[in-house]
Chains A and B, each alone.
Chain A
Amino acid sequence: MPTPETRPFFDGCAAGELRIQRCADCARPYFYPRPVCPHCGSFNVAWFTASGDATLYSYVINHRPAPGFEAEAPYAIAVVQLAEGPRMMTSIVGVPNTPEALELDMPLHVRFERRGELTLPVFGPAGASRETSASRESGATA
């Protein structure tokens, strides 16, 4: 459920852009959305569109699905590192969610999935199809 401070992120996702924030004073990007730079404490921050490039930082493969995710299990809950530096939790699509297929540091690129009311960023192998994945109403948690 977006709040006023996070709405631009979700609006970006709906428009097919990964919009995050950057400090106008120290120039460092950060995530999750908030009106203060966690690196230097400046309140002089602005939104920009990230490249969508990322690498796989770590993950688990969850065998006990959350409500709405029964059809997906076992599924990866991953943390990716954006090319710009910040990390975010995400799903990994376009590749089997198995230990063999999910190699840490593999290059990924953002895609966008409609889940319930919101469009969310998910990540798939870089260089593969960048088409938006099928919509998944069942994944809604809002």
Chain B
Amino acid sequence: MSRGAGVIIAGAAETDQVGRLPHTSTLGLHIEAARNALADAGLTTRDIDGIATVSAPGPVQVAHALGITPTWVDGTGVGGTSFLLHVRHAVAAIRAGYARTVLVTHGESGRSRVGAGGWRMDPSSPAGQFEAPYGTLGPTTTFTIPVLRYMKEYGLTHEQLAYVAVAQRKWAARNPRAMFRDEITVADVFASRMVAYPFHLLECCLVTDGGGALIITAADRSVEFPKPPVHILGTGEASETPMISQLADFTESQAFRLAGQAAFAEAGITTADVGHLMIYDAFAHVPIYGLEALGFVKKGEAGGFIAAGNTEPGGALPLNTNGGGLSYTHTGMYGMFAITEGVRQIRGEAAAQAGEPQVSVVLGNGGMFATAGVLVLGRQPR
């Protein structure tokens, strides 16, 4: 595999607040996140020639609102992992000379629904014809379906599933921006309302408002920016299925595995090199699937690995150190927040800093195990 020129994340920031933001529209959240990321990189909108975000509002609207006339545009919209794919595509564009400085934005009024379009499944889509008629209602009723199969085949217990939320709350307790910060027990998880058996409320992600943005550019410009560069060492993307019922094997995600393999190969790393990990956690089982797909543990071992404390503060593999979608924030398309936390950990500026990781891996999920993106971020270039 040819190794192109180095590319970095030169700026990364979130909206001033995340959580309940009824005073800001979806577009406003994009603009606020872009302002903060530009400031983080010491740049202005005049420096941006490439734009990437999902619809809606989409890259054309975001660029125009900011007064940018981009000559490189990426509107890839594959759910919550889209921003990881935007980073990957920006790396390629910068290497190809198609763009010099790319702005990736996320903003979503997921909780307050201010300036946010309605959501409706197309009844003539395959999912509209072959899933919706059985009473599905968003991710809580679909993303969750595989786990009972996994539990039967690999012996994952209800306690281990609940402990994923317990472990992540320990990180959130150290993060003042997290929506939920009180530590919890497995009993607390079991006592929370049943949403979709076997998932209790505390095993499901939050619904919040917020945004984040990134500035991507060539590594040879690193000295121009106030913050230390975060090197994009490897990236991967893959998609598997638009419908959870058609996931090939309910005990694993091919998309997670394929995206991870591509990113690790490009970066030239193994799991032993990884000091910090973010795995998109829309529900408590997703980090379990992610740990196994990326090869950190063998199939069937991730639940026990988390329950043994390996991923919580003081553990060998710090995972979801912002508290994750379960406790920090989840606007709907959470992937941006997994990236910004990876950037903070590499820079050494996270609220719950996990030592001095040299390599951070970020695994994003889009849809219900539909699409995956993986980024390998490093303190040093390859």
Contacts and interface: CB of A to CB of B under 8 A. Distances in A.
Bind each other: yes
Interface of A: 1-3, 6, 31-32, 34, 57-69, 72, 74-75, 77-79, 87-91, 99, 104-105, 115, 118, 120, 139, 141-142
* Smallest CB-CB A-B distances: 6 pairs: A61-B197, A58-B149, A66-B137, A89-B245, A60-B196, A69-B135
Contact of B243 (A32, A64, A66, A69): A32
Nearest to B126: A32
B71 interface: no
Given A64-B195, A79-B245, A99-B197, A58 B135 contact: no
B218 to A, nearest CB: 40
Contact of A59 (B131, B148, B194): B148
A43 to B, nearest CB: 18
A47 B132 CA distance: 23
A104 B149 CA distance: 7
Contact of B135 (A34, A62, A99): A62
A22 B123 CA distance: 25
B152 interface: yes
Contacts of B144: 60
Interface in B89-145: 123-124, 126, 128-137, 140-142, 144-145
Nearest to B147: A58
A6 B196 CA distance: 29
Contacts of A115: 133
B141 A90 contact: no
- Interface size range on B against A: 35 or more
Given A3-B129, A115-B133, 10 more contacts: A60-B196, A62-B196, A66-B136, A69-B135, A77-B141, A78-B145, A89-B244, A120-B133, A141-B128, A141-B132
B146 interface: yes
A141 B141 CA distance: 16
Contact of B133 (A65, A79, A99, A139): A139
Given A1-B124, A104-B148, A74 B134 contact: no
A68 B136 CA distance: 11
Nearest to A63: B194
Given A63-B197, A99-B197, A104-B149, A87 B246 contact: yes
A69 B134 CA distance: 9
B345 to A, nearest CB: 34
Contacts, number: 112
Given A59-B145, A89-B130, A74 B137 contact: no
Interface string B181-202: 0000000000001111111000
B250 interface: yes
Interface string B227-254: 0000000000000000111100010000
Given A79-B245, A141-B123, A60 B129 contact: no
Most chain B CB inside 10 Å of its own CB: which residue of A6, A66, A105: A66
A58 B141 contact: no
A72 B135 contact: yes
B196 A63 contact: yes
A88 B152 contact: no
A101 B40 CA distance: 56
A141 B149 CA distance: 27
B133 A142 contact: yes
Interface string B33-50: 000000000000000000
B146 A58 contact: yes
B249 to A, nearest CB: 11
Nearest to B196: A60
Nearest to A89: B245
Interface string B339-368: 000000000000000000000000000000
B161 to A, nearest CB: 13
B145 A118 contact: no
A38 to B, nearest CB: 9
Nearest to A120: B133
Given A59-B145, A63-B194, A63-B195, A1 B134 contact: no
A142 B132 CA distance: 9
8 contacts: A2-B124, A6-B126, A58-B145, A59-B148, A63-B196, A88-B130, A104-B148, A141-B123
Contacts of A90: 134
Interface in B56-88: none
A79 B137 CA distance: 15
